[in-house]
Amino acid sequence: MSVTGAVNITPHPSPNFGPRREGAMPDMVVLHYTAMKSAAAALERLCSPDVEVSAHYLISETGEVFQLVEEDQRAWHAGAGCWGEVIDVNSRSIGIELANNGFAPFPEPQMVALERLLSGIMRRWAIPPQRIIGHSDMAPGRKIDPGARFDWYRLAMAGLAIWPDSAGKPCHYSGIVEMLNRFGMKADCDAETLLAAFRLRFRPWATGPVDDVDMVLAADISARYPVDQSDLTS
């Protein structure tokens, strides 16, 4: 599936940004939800110098796209966490906030705008689908956005994210942490927290101890999408 159509972007500069450190350029995108009542409230917060948080883009429920920080600058959206060996995720990423309270579905106009925006970002910075991640992927246990209602499968079908193959055979359960680490989920947390973050993205309604489905999905995704070797020197 290809993504077509232009995205209309409204500049709304935030003072909350700085230069990317050590000459870094973006090679990943982090998706968030705002957990606020409205896009207007989120816009006000992301542009407040008193709060010191921001993102590169905010997409409203109706699909309006606001640019708060230029893509070559370091927005303050990711916070503590890591992806692979990258610990300064802000310097290596573009942050996109989606206006959503964390419980509601993401409206069609918002998803269309996200797809078009992502397509352009990935093309401009040569970012592969496996480097489109959620806040919860890089900060398991601390963050849960973009949450259980976000349609990762839809993005994957458009070539804008990845999705694991469920056709494999399960392996020994003790290997789950190693496989998720290889994929990029290397935050300092216990196995249960790591599994919960993995499920939040790929099996959001799953509960209980690790099972065969978890192992099949984790084995596939870690084999096909191991963390980029470039991270090892970051």
Q: Which of 70, 85, 97, 192 is catalytic?
A: 97
In a 3-state reduction of DSSP, which class is residue 149? Answer: coil
What is the 3 state secondary structure string of 150-193?
CCHHHHHHCCCCCCCCCCCCCCCHHHHHHHHHHHCCCCCCCHHH
E strands in the chain: 9-11, 17-19, 28-33, 57-59, 65-67, 73-75, 93-98, 132-134
Residue showing tokens 């230069």 = 19
Active site residue 97: yes
Distance, CA of 193 to CA of 207 (rounded, Å): 12
Rg of the chain's alpha carbons, rounded to an integer?
17
Catalytic residue IDs: 97
